Chains A and B, each alone.
Chain A
Amino acid sequence: MAIAEPTNPAVEISSAMPRDYFALLKPRVMSLVIFTALVGMLIAPISIGPALGTIAILCIAVGAGASGALNMWYDADIDAVMRRTVSRPIPGNRVSPGEALVFGLVLAGFSIVTLGLLTNWLAAGLLAFTIFFYSVIYTAWLKRSTPQNIVIGGAAGAFPPVIGWAAMTGSIGLEPLVLFTIIFLWTPPHFWALALFTADDYARAGVPMMPNVAGDRSTRKQILIYSVLLAVSGIAPWYLGMAGIGYVIFATVMGLNFIRLAWLVLQESSEGDNKAAKKLFGFSIIYLFALFAALLIENVLLRML
């Protein structure tokens, strides 16, 4: 085939390996999405069976991955100046922005249509809205314009259990909305703890994260406020009859530890090494996994007894 010589062959001819495309899906975020969606599905009173259930989870995971790819496409300029993201496929020159955009759009389309055809269109609509919310509302709009970016944007990460529930039942109930609230309130202390020890990175990239806009002290206070709200919302599944005594004891202990770590973050000097903030960030990931796992274990056990 005779074709024109491109101006820059290194850019025109891709050297991307499949793992580079896989990295565009943000696999670590995806694992949290898969898990929370699975909990939403398994606590639902109606089941669509293991085969369709597995396909639904796969669709939600791929949809979340598509949002990740679209996010990396739009944020390539920010990623290139931040230490944490500089080695991502686009700033690393392994995948071109155009390839990432098409990859994200194709995966989004396939995951939404497959979920709609094989489960129901409410679940597919929610998945489509989540992808739109994360890529357009959060990534393209809020992230660069307000320090409340991750507060409002957190809704995108909170949707998976609602989609999981909707895939099973064809409706939205109070139970998945409680799970939504937990993830929604978890997002600010999780990301602001990270932002405290990566503030210079965000400042260099021009992203208005809370520590850069409202200051270090204010961020630490807000982390504590959200941690208290989170700990209270963590108990809500028991109050609403979704979980038993084992869960509420576990959620209370975990919630109190979350507040304790947030208190230590507040006491910490902004001039220090942010040890408390790093500790809270690490614990926040364990907290969400553990709380949802407890809910899942108790629900499955209760159903078996």
Chain B
Amino acid sequence: METGKQIELTEQQKKSRRARNIALALLLAAFAIILYIGTWAKFGANILNRAL
């Protein structure tokens, strides 16, 4: 197999890769927010009530 050769992405491939990256970033951010809100909703202030 030939090595050392760059692959040139087509415009369509670049465009779709960028769109996928943005979608993934938004989904990860949404997931973090969901866990944050969910944790507060489930435990409330009790989240701080633990042995130190």
User: Which A residues are closer than 8 A to B by beta carbons?
Assistant: 1-6, 9, 13-18, 21, 49, 51-52, 55, 58, 110, 114, 117-118
Q: Among the listed B2, B13, B41, which residue makes an inter-chain contact with A52, where contact means beta carbons less than 8 Å apart?
A: B41
The 3 closest A-B pairs by CB, nearest first: A18-B23, A51-B41, A118-B38
Q: Contact string, B1-37, partner A, CB cutoff 8 A, digits 1/0?
A: 1111111011011001101101100000001001101
B: residues with CB less than 8 A from A are 1-7, 9-10, 12-13, 16-17, 19-20, 22-23, 31, 34-35, 37-42
CA distance A277 to B6 in the complex (A): 56
A58 proximity list for chain B (CB < 8 A): 34
**B12 near A5: Cβ-Cβ < 8 Å:** no
CB distance from B29 to the nearest CB of A (A): 14
Q: Please judge, given known A-B contacts A2-B6, A5-B2, whether A118 and B42 are in contact too, CB under 8 Å.
A: yes
Since A2-B6, A4-B5, A17-B19 are in contact, a sample of 20 more A-B pairs with Cβ atoms closer than 8 Å, ordered by chain A residue number, is A2-B4, A2-B5, A3-B7, A4-B3, A5-B5, A13-B9, A15-B12, A15-B13, A15-B16, A16-B20, A17-B20, A21-B20, A51-B40, A51-B41, A58-B34, A114-B34, A114-B35, A114-B38, A118-B38, A118-B41
What is the distance, in angstroms, from B1's C-beta to the closest C-beta of chain A? Answer: 5
Is B20 touching A55 in the complex (CB atoms < 8 A)?
no
Question: B37 touches which one: A6, A13, A18, A51 (CB < 8 A)?
Answer: A51
Main secondary structure of the interface of B (DSSP, over half): helix
Q: Which residues of chain A are near B6, meaning CB under 8 Å?
A: 1-2
Q: Are A4 and B2 in contact (CB under 8 A)?
A: yes
* Contact status A13-B13, CB under 8 Å: yes
Are B12 and A55 within 8 A (Cβ)? no
The answer to whether B41 and A49 touch across the interface, beta carbons within 8 angstroms, is: yes
In the complex, chain B residues whose CB is within 8 Å of the CB of A17: 16, 19-20
Shortest Cβ distance from A50 into B: residue: B41
Residues of chain B lying within 8 A (CB to CB) of residue A110: 31
Q: Which residues of B contact A1 (CB under 8 A)?
A: 6
User: Which residue from chain B places its CB closest to the CB of A51 in the assembled complex?
Assistant: B41
CA distance A118 to B43 in the complex (A): 9
Chain B residues whose CB sits within 8 angstroms of the CB of A49 once the complex forms: 41
Q: Which residues of B are found within 8 Å of A52, using beta-carbon distances?
A: 38, 41-42
Q: How far, in angstroms, from A5 to B4 measured CA to CA in the complex?
A: 9
17 pairs, A vs B, C-beta closer than 8 Å: A2-B3, A3-B3, A4-B1, A4-B5, A5-B1, A5-B2, A13-B13, A14-B16, A14-B17, A15-B12, A15-B16, A16-B20, A17-B20, A52-B38, A110-B31, A114-B35, A118-B42
Query: Quick one: closest A residue to B41, CB to CB?
Result: A51
Tell me the complex Cα distance, A85–B20, Å.
24
Give Cα A16 to B5, complex, Å. 24
Neighbouring A residues of B12 by C-beta, 8 Å? 15
**How far apart sit A55 and B30, CA to CA, in the bound complex (Å)?**
11
Distance, CA A14 to CA B12, complexed state (A): 10
